[in-house]
Structure 1
């Protein structure tokens, strides 16, 4: 936990970005009955719906730059994770010297997966540009990408959508608007706060 909090105290450095990565599933569904409009203009859906495919939403969030990139994938296994990480290093942050990547400590988040997807030279070149920082078990709330997911859910993904392309269009508009405004994370929780508020997690000496 303290390692993550120390990373969040670093000043902004263009060529040494701190990026938070998280993923979340989204069930694509459609209404089985025609939705109704309320007197207030809101859409009322019947409790019944038709399930379609399930997609995984990957969120890359650079809190100090107010930059986020959202990608839709078919699954959240280690191979898809490796492709997302490679895209981050080679395209989105190609000019970076070193990227600090904060993420949950999940089975799918394994650096060795890069070698299953890419040739050894390319896999190593990608990994050499990353400093991995993992949130502790039951500590995923320390991942600031969850803050962006919360906003995305309230503004976009809470709505019923049956089509992946439609979902991607809505997310793209949301992402573009927030990036243009450079919406950053207002993170205040620091190591000293943790030692007071979470003192029962520390051993008694």
Structure 2
């Protein structure tokens, strides 16, 4: 018996429309230069029933040319708002503590604690005496020729160490209440002795203090390569 060949349908062609970028919403300003996306808020629950929350928003980090014009210097213009929140039993009264904000800058190679660039050199003199006019008949020389030689050497030594993290505190404020905050705008941070690629991130520490205890919550921003 002969079997009729099965028909294979042509694949369906689906037209893909190009993605068009959405136009900015009218009345909404564009993000500032160097805008950094902040991580989600950090929370901490203490044994005595308090909840600490620490977050940041509107963070900016822009690399700036240092005033020293040195290739081993790093300078950045930073900003942002850092908010803390303390929620607990009302019978304990108003909480109190400190909120600290700053930045950490990581360097691939550190020159600040090494000898840096050192020029090394050596010099010396070598004396010698030569004998002239010696013949077979007389064992005594007919003349003596003194000689002086010099050797000079030099080199360049570069002292480098593995990278380090530089912590640059901006402010540390004592507060009383449940909603502490710190706002930073157009603040310059600078370090020296940094060679190679560098990284920067923000940090904040929220501390709730009582007569018997301290509860500390830390926040770290996104690491930015600059």
* Fold match (TM-score > 0.5): no
Q: Which has the higher helix share?
A: 1
Structure with max Cα Rg: 2
Q: Which has the higher strand share?
A: 2
TM-score of the superposition, structure 1-length normalised?
A: 0.25
